[in-house]
Chains A and B, each alone.
Chain A
């Protein structure tokens, strides 16, 4: 009979404005691979972060090896033999593998019995042995910055093993790996299970769970939906449970009336700063009066796709045309002029100058135009009037009116300000990137209504979202992006949530 090593009972964790975990109870058995599955924002990371002592639960209890524990720090979690590999690796990039691993636990020797120094030889030896035992294929003397992502991940695993962790937590371990690397990663964790470790795996990739996990907990909006026995459950069933809940509300919407093609991407490719091809030869076109929605799991090339169309990064191949004009190499400003509005995902660092007043943020993308300046001198009256116009028409609330420093406004109102600014340009193309992330329900509804309204005005709308509800709610055409390629494009009515879920996981039939 399986023996529980970790038990979480009635865990509730609240953050301002949201309940991240709502009365979640689960237990993990010694020596199993336990997966936690859920959409973005379902509360997976929060749940396991509490196990690693990064947060403390507001309610509920955690038992480790049958004993009630208050895990108040990662340090204490380490003492309990719990280790975690975070999404962002925590390595010193100009140190060697060994130096990183022993950091904080350096084996000491004394020179002439007096001067302490780090016994790096012994450490190198120990780590080589450890690497050998778990088949991790890591040279302890390599410097981190020369290693690829998969090797760095293995260093993180070694770090946990060196600290004699028995319960290993992985937060989205495969998000940054290539398919081949994923394959070998899965072999590694199976090997770890074979040597008696317990593994908790956070992911939203179903095929990985199917391949290695023993059991799987499904979370949705903070609530535990079910705990499944993986071998006896189909991936379709898991996908349905993960995303297939009743849609909580819908946006009223008339049938779309497509007009001419506005945006056309042909074999467009984009490289990310590290040279990896994040968008691979993608082709699609968007018509006037169409909401073209791109669904996909985070980090499959969505950011690069949106930035490349808006001109913030350049394409490494292919062609983009806007209303028949080739804009592949046009500057950001040319694209604004040509009629591409963009609501970026990062509203704090990209969409707004946070330390500007609200008034100064409104004309951020058009301050140079005749309306707002003459011969290089800003037109104060136009700034004021435009600010008043947007604030009234788009219901943007701020403490001190237009003189409010944007930083001090709520996230919802900041987003309203960006959307107001972009929509008000009445451009033929509007790109919405994750427009409702972090907003409350009322604001979400409002944004979706605006998306539909823009479509009805005749704009071509590119909506990129991680939220499947949003996609189902707004889209006329749905494209699914997986690993930088669009794996499926179909009219919204032809795809069910389950279909999309499968394409998002890369397990759907190829288009």
Chain B
């Protein structure tokens, strides 16, 4: 409860800071924040283009939120198990890339999902293994892997798989894409995120897994006190490896939901910032799976709504990243506060 209140406080303070900055820029913060909600399909816009409505906006919003749920769950379970996985971006990119390549041979949505899970899990397991075998800090390996993967994927795309017009990778074939793009419904064109139900199901499953299974009990014990876990007869190394494998698999799911769903292509030369935003989301959600879904909802409003906000108010869309950054800062502070509150 205390955690929840602190998270709310973090959001409120961040929004107030954002408002202050908007006001200093000579903009109307209330109008700007309204635009965020409108852009996310949560409030009516003044007018809509053809074949669009608040409903289509909302469905696009869900489409953007789906990978964020996976990514934040990836961070959350790693934190529960005592790891700081900041390599979600790399895991996303690797998974997205592998899925793209496989879809060239076998265009199947199921295969895309499975490939994403496996690619991410392998990377996560590798980090866990490096940690316990050589005691290399996972923060270091995950940052390094982000760069390695990004450059490898960039090299391959630029050399063999580029769409010369968009300067992105070629697009994934529709039969393998996890988002039904431009689906005709009544007189609307809707984007349907097919992975969204999976994201919610995975969050619920993870909640149950952490609270009710022996594995969950072990992961939490190792995360909170490795020495006590060893004393309890747990195999700390094996459990750490398991934690990172699950975290990586979730990062991989985020990757396919993003690169083979929300987007249909991979942009070379950059890692998705979602992998880092996911840290804010996870902290904001108290590293709790259900909390992650709620926090993903909030953060996605800011990131998704920022495009509409910037066009209406003539504000740089980066202001949204700024507010997210505030939230990360305050959420990190509140994580410390909630620990202090316990004594």
Using a CB–CB distance below 8 Å, which chain A residues touch chain B? 310, 312, 331-333, 335-336, 342, 344, 346, 349-356, 360, 364-365, 367-368, 373, 376-378, 380, 405, 407-408
Contacts and interface: CB of A to CB of B under 8 A. Distances in A.
Given A332-B231, A377-B212, A408-B343, A360 B225 contact: no
Contact of B228 (A333, A353, A376, A378): A353
A405 B342 contact: yes
A367 B216 CA distance: 11
Contacts of A408: 342-343
A356 B220 contact: yes
B221 interface: yes
B273 interface: no
Given A377-B213, A377-B214, A332 B221 contact: no
Contacts of B230: 312, 332
A351 B231 CA distance: 7
A367 B231 CA distance: 13
Among B214, B230, B343, which residue has the most Cβ atoms of chain A within 10 A?
B214
Majority-rule SS of A interface residues: mixed
Contacts of A352: 225, 228
Nearest to A379: B212
A308 to B, nearest CB: 13
A352 B224 CA distance: 10
B233 A333 contact: yes
B232 interface: yes
Contacts of B221: 353, 356, 364
B227 interface: yes
Contact of B213 (A356, A364, A378): A378
B155 interface: no
B229 interface: yes
A354 B225 contact: yes
Interface of B: 212-217, 220-221, 224-225, 227-235, 342-343
A417 B215 CA distance: 23
Among A312, A377, A407, which residue has the most Cβ atoms of chain B within 10 A?
A377
A280 to B, nearest CB: 24
Contacts of A350: 227-228, 231
Contacts, number: 72
A365 B232 CA distance: 4
B228 A380 contact: no
6 interchain residue pairs of minimum CB distance: A333-B233, A332-B233, A364-B232, A353-B228, A355-B224, A353-B225
A367 B214 contact: yes
Nearest to A307: B231
B338 to A, nearest CB: 11
Contacts of A367: 214, 217, 232
A378 B233 contact: no
Contacts of B229: 353
A428 B325 CA distance: 57
B233 A376 contact: no
A409 B224 CA distance: 17
Nearest to A313: B230
B336 to A, nearest CB: 14
Nearest to B229: A353
A378 B227 contact: no
A376 B214 contact: yes
Nearest to A331: B233
Given A346-B227, A355-B225, A365-B231, 20 more contacts: A331-B233, A332-B232, A333-B233, A333-B234, A349-B227, A351-B228, A352-B225, A353-B228, A354-B224, A355-B342, A364-B231, A364-B232, A368-B214, A373-B213, A376-B215, A377-B212, A377-B214, A378-B213, A378-B216, A407-B342
Contacts of B212: 377-378, 380
A293 to B, nearest CB: 22
B217 to A, nearest CB: 6
Among B224, B227, B228, B230, which residue has the most Cβ atoms of chain A within 10 A?
B228
A376 B225 contact: no
Given A312-B231, A333-B233, A378-B217, A356 B343 contact: no
Among A335, A355, A360, which residue has the most Cβ atoms of chain B within 10 A?
A355
B228 A407 contact: no
A368 B218 CA distance: 10
A380 B211 CA distance: 10
B288 to A, nearest CB: 14
Nearest to A332: B233
A222 B227 CA distance: 33
Given A356-B220, A378-B214, A344 B231 contact: yes
B214 A373 contact: yes
B233 to A, nearest CB: 3
